Amino acid sequence: MDQQSNQTNEHASFLTLEQFIIDRQKAFPHSTGAFSRLLRDLSVAAKIISRNIRRAGILDVLGETGTVNVQDEKQKKLDQIAHRELVRALQRGGQCCLIGSEEASDTITMDSDRETPERYAVFFDPLDGSSNTDVNASVGTIFSVYLLPDEWAPDNIVDVSLQRGAEQVAAGYVAYGSSTILVFTTGNGVNGFTLDPSIGEFLLSHPDLRIPDRGTMYSVNEADVGDFAPELRAFLRWVKRKDPDTGRRIRARYIGSFVSDFHRNLLGGGIYMYPSTADHPDGKLRLMYEANPMAFLVEQAGGRATDGHQRILDIEPTSLHQRTPLFIGSRPLVEAAERFLRGEQTHT
């Protein structure tokens, strides 16, 4: 059997993202073709971003642009490219009426000449962990999709688009690492698709993902431990203790890219923490396009997400770039963190 035949048989055993969307369309919110096309548009942008990242040492896409974004962070060239490609894909597709991006100070409204324009709003972090690109470490894209209420109008579109995370109709991320994997949920479980660059297709590689209850890793920037609340420092001491039955410890693993840390913990079990600190009393992660989509996804995978005191998906947003502390991952570990933060558990 020749190499081409081997590749054909190999691909025949996988379901493409497009076929998965067609097969599952009836389970999607409102079962609309527009929603299916919106997911397709996001996947197309992800392929283009992945191509640029993989050619970063050849193309002039590394380094900074010389400007800062609305977050007062130095903007990387790949931040700008990823933002541009996502906006272009959604504009071409015409399936959404509003975009919110980490790289834009305000929301972006889509022009539509349709009598009944689509009602989807998409929020995204175009390139999470972009400071990692210059050292060839993994990064990611995070996205969130909402359906606007029937009464939306051009003059109130921004206000009605800021909904609780529990109202999301889809959310997911793309991790650009040793391979490019797209993981998403529409409220009916979590599935992961790996990009095969030889055919340019996302193939179903991680069906029905569930986060293990038994966590093996914790992810936090411990350089800031001096700024953590005493209750959180007590939780970290508790996490590091040896299990008396197995003699094993939960190990520290921290990449500095939320997508990468989250993806590892989703597959292996663990907790990711970005608490409030003296420098960031409200936390650092953005509610609308980082915390909410990952919280929706982790709950669909059997995990939990909280700000330390309340469920992330129940927080009422007040602004596009609102920040929040975040504790997310395996349910038992997140619940343990909450007990410590409430002062209900103090022993280490």
User: What's 125's domain CATH number?
Assistant: 3.30.540.10
Q: What is the percentage of the chain residues whose pLDDT exceeds 90?
A: 61
Range from 53-67, 102-116, 228-242, 270-284 carrying the lowest mean pLDDT = 53-67
Helices 77-93 and 33-54, axial angle in degrees (round to 10): 150
Residue 288 belongs to domain with CATH number = 3.40.190.80
In a domain, 346, yes or no: no
311-to-71, 160, 166, 305, 326 alpha-carbon distances in Å = 24, 21, 10, 6, 10
Q: What are the tens digits of pLDDT across the range 215-226?
A: 899 999 999 999
Q: How many angstroms separate the CA atoms of 175 and 182, rounded?
A: 7
Which spans in 241-330 are helix H? 258-268, 292-300
Q: What are the tens digits of pLDDT across the range 199-218?
A: 999 999 999 999 999 889 99
The confidence score (pLDDT) of residue 134 equals 72
The confidence score (pLDDT) of residue 5 equals 45
Same domain for 180 and 47? Answer: yes
User: Which residue type occupies 188?
Assistant: N
In a domain, 96, yes or no: yes
pTM: 0.90
In a domain, 211, yes or no: no
Q: How many angstroms separate the CA atoms of 209 and 307, rounded?
A: 23
Containing domain of residue 237, as a range?
Answer: 217-341
Q: Which of 183, 206, 229 is the last residue of a domain?
A: 206
Same domain for 151 and 237? Answer: no
